[in-house]
Structure 1
Amino acid sequence: MTLLNSKRLTLFFFIATLISAPFCLKAQEADNKLNLIIDADTANEIDDLYAIVRAILEPKFNLIAISSAQFHTSPLASAQTVKESQAINETLLELMDVTNVSLPIGSNKPLVEYGKPVSSEASQFIIKTAHSMPAGEKLHLVILGSCTNIASAILEDPTIIPKIKVHYLGFWHTPETNAYNKKEFNSGNDPIAVEVLLNTKPLDLNVMTATTSQHLVFTKQNVDRQLKHKEGVAQYLVQRWETYERWWTKDDPEKTQWTMWDVAIIEALARPELSTIEKKRTPPENTQRNIGIHTQIDATEMTRDFWNTLNNL
């Protein structure tokens, strides 16, 4: 081969590399997306709605489904809380013109006996999706309410355990002493299901506690500034804030601010650098193992990131 031909060949491969690089990067980015199912008691409060919209807009997520969860302990609970959550999930996707996310309905009742699942469309969907994961990839399950659907899926088919990673929003926790308080709303809506998650030794489990997520607070003034001039799902979020009546406190009757518990766990998944996760032992009454606990969040940066993302509405 002549020197000229050698140089031409080298130049050819260099150009080919430049052309193919963006396609390789795009494929790598797609491979790095989190395969996600969100399980939400959406009708219980307002933060679920904000968290779901944030998750839909996150390019790092491959949002596969949003399943509905029950919240029977609320003083405002109807006999069909899961259907209320399902209806709002459907409305959110319709308003955002999302057609590629499934909406399996969950159980309307909590577990009544340890070891016995309450099967539902949601639990079956979780099982089927977990088994469809490519080798080496996990299905990330984000629980914004009761643990009923995920615990049932685990009990119905324990072979999914190595294929899933659970992110749970629940109970109170003191990091300094590793003290747990399970008397918290999400945990109270299915205490048996919580025990299933804590006792399932091989389960990959991270918990965003109420203690940590309570520091993420939005103001109505900022919500109005960001959303009130927009239509569609933006107006729906504003309306939900204005019309939902808090039953758990008489403080702040004008609803000038709201704790965004559920947004915290979505932000922590989208921006892991905004949350500190520490390995902690499970409560003494549970199977002893280490789980991940979110012990600190950057609430200011989470708020900024949330609104930057919702600029895309």
Structure 2
Amino acid sequence: MEINYPAMTDGERVRKLESPAGPIKMVLDTDTFNEIDDQFAVIYALLSPERIELQALYAAPFHNDLSTGPKDGMEKSYEEIIRILKLMDREDVPVYRGSESYLAAPHTPVNSAAAYNLVERAMACDPADPLYVVGIGAITNIASAILIEPRIIERIVVVWLGGHAIDWQDTREFNLEQDLHASRVIFDSGVPLMLIPCMGVASNLRTTLSEVRDYVLPSGAIGAYLYETYKNCKDDHFAYSRVIWDISVIAWLNQSNTVPSRLIPSPRISADCRWSVDSTRHLIRCASYIDRDAVFHDLFTKLKMASN
């Protein structure tokens, strides 16, 4: 079954993809238990009220060594989100369970509380004041919402950490590869999309245990939580650094000048997980670099201020 997506001109799409000019309404879709970086991103968003009004959190599915399948991954992510909100005394932010599976076919959505809540919130928005839908996991919930109600693409901007740089040798990246049907919906639907590639862009966001000890641990209960999360990710931290991928999307919303980007034709994803560029396709915005020092300066400063 083909989906009739609303027609948008590239001019309309590009205007929506300009750097956010002021405080924005945002929902965050996160596979929070999958890695240690989602926790940093959720907290970074909550510590940025001058730029971000976080309206809801959605638990995304994931499947790796930390889960028995997408449903288990989603449930563990839901529980981790609840833990973070309790720690930050922010239980006022609603949390919704997401998809229990990946898309079974190209245009078959997965029904979930998260997908339906996204549709409801998006349809309540004025197209001139869109809802920013930020994804830092498999894009299943967001793609499902678009398939359930295609008209939401006129009322949202998707900001997604997914895939690798366009000139990378492949795009076998965890967020993108888990649900290829959903990933293709995002690139094919015409939804305004700010893409932050992993390798080649977000891969700049490395930090070390000593840096986290010096600049995160002193920040009260939140800092202690993030420090322990980082410390426990590896037995031996000698000469080791780790990428905190997911803060990249929050950085673009907070300080877009730290994440230079360009407009490119929306790429296709081949069967063997490679980018295929077609110059006739609609435009998306794609990050080309990220200023690692500026991003961590902003995050560490906000953690310090929150503990005072």
In the superposition, the TM-score normalised over structure 1's length comes to 0.82
Matched residues, number: 273
Q: Deviations over 1:46-84 (max 9, x none)?
A: 011001101001021010011110111x13322411011
Q: Deviations over 1:128-161 (max 9, x none)?
A: 1111224521010110000000000000001111
What letter is aligned with 2:248? A
- Given the alignment of the two structures, is residue 307 of structure 1 paired with residue 266 of structure 2, yes or no? no
Would you tell me which structure has more helix in proportion to its own residues? 1
- Given the alignment of the two structures, is residue 92 of structure 1 paired with residue 84 of structure 2, yes or no? yes
- Given the alignment of the two structures, is residue 259 of structure 1 paired with residue 252 of structure 2, yes or no? no
Q: Aligned pair in 2 of structure 1 residues 135, 228: CA closer, same or farther (>3 Å)?
A: closer
* Secondary structure of 1:36's aligned partner: strand
- Given the alignment of the two structures, is residue 63 of structure 1 paired with residue 71 of structure 2, yes or no? no
Q: Deviations over 1:168-200 (max 9, x none)?
A: 1011124xxx56733111111211100000111
Q: Aligned pair in 2 of structure 1 residues 284, 265: CA closer, same or farther (>3 Å)?
A: closer
Quick check: 2:266–2:284 contact (8 Å CA) kept in 1?
yes
Structure 2's unaligned 5+ residue stretches are 1-20, 270-275
Return the match for 2:252 from 268, 276, 279: 268
Cα deviation for residue 99 of structure 1 reads: 3.0
Cα deviation for residue 233 of structure 1 reads: 2.1
Return the match for 2:188 from 187, 199, 202: 199
Q: Aligned pair in 2 of structure 1 residues 196, 239: CA closer, same or farther (>3 Å)?
A: same
* Secondary structure of 2:288's aligned partner: strand
Report the counterpart of residue 39 of structure 1 in structure 2: 29
Q: Aligned pair in 2 of structure 1 residues 180, 39: CA closer, same or farther (>3 Å)?
A: farther
Cα deviation for residue 225 of structure 1 reads: 1.1
What letter is aligned with 1:305? D
The structure whose RCO (Cα within 8 Å, separation 6+) is larger is 2
Return the match for 1:283 from 247, 251, 267: 267
Cα deviation for residue 95 of structure 1 reads: 0.6
Moved more, 32-41 or 237-246: 237-246
Q: Aligned pair in 2 of structure 1 residues 299, 63: CA closer, same or farther (>3 Å)?
A: same
* Secondary structure of 1:129's aligned partner: helix
- Given the alignment of the two structures, is residue 168 of structure 1 paired with residue 157 of structure 2, yes or no? no
Q: What is the rounded CA distance, in whole Å, between the counterparts of 2:98 and 2:169 in structure 1?
A: 27
What letter is aligned with 1:266? I
Identity of aligned residues (%): 26
What letter is aligned with 2:175? N
User: 5 Å matches for 1:122-137?
Assistant: 122-134=114-126, 136-137=128-129
What's the Cα RMSD here? 2.0
Larger of the two Rg values belongs to structure: 1
User: 5 Å matches for 1:241-256?
Assistant: 241-244=230-233, 254=238, 256=240
Cα deviation for residue 245 of structure 1 reads: 5.0
Cα deviation for residue 105 of structure 1 reads: 0.9
Q: Aligned pair in 2 of structure 1 residues 284, 110: CA closer, same or farther (>3 Å)?
A: closer
Q: Aligned pair in 2 of structure 1 residues 284, 226: CA closer, same or farther (>3 Å)?
A: closer
Structure 1's unaligned 5+ residue stretches are 1-30, 247-251
Q: What is the rounded CA distance, in whole Å, between the counterparts of 1:135 and 1:40 in structure 2?
A: 24
Return the match for 2:104 from 92, 100, 112: 112
Report the counterpart of residue 13 of structure 1 in structure 2: none
Cα deviation for residue 242 of structure 1 reads: 2.2
* Secondary structure of 1:155's aligned partner: helix
Q: Aligned pair in 2 of structure 1 residues 222, 150: CA closer, same or farther (>3 Å)?
A: same
Moved more, 161-170 or 129-138: 129-138
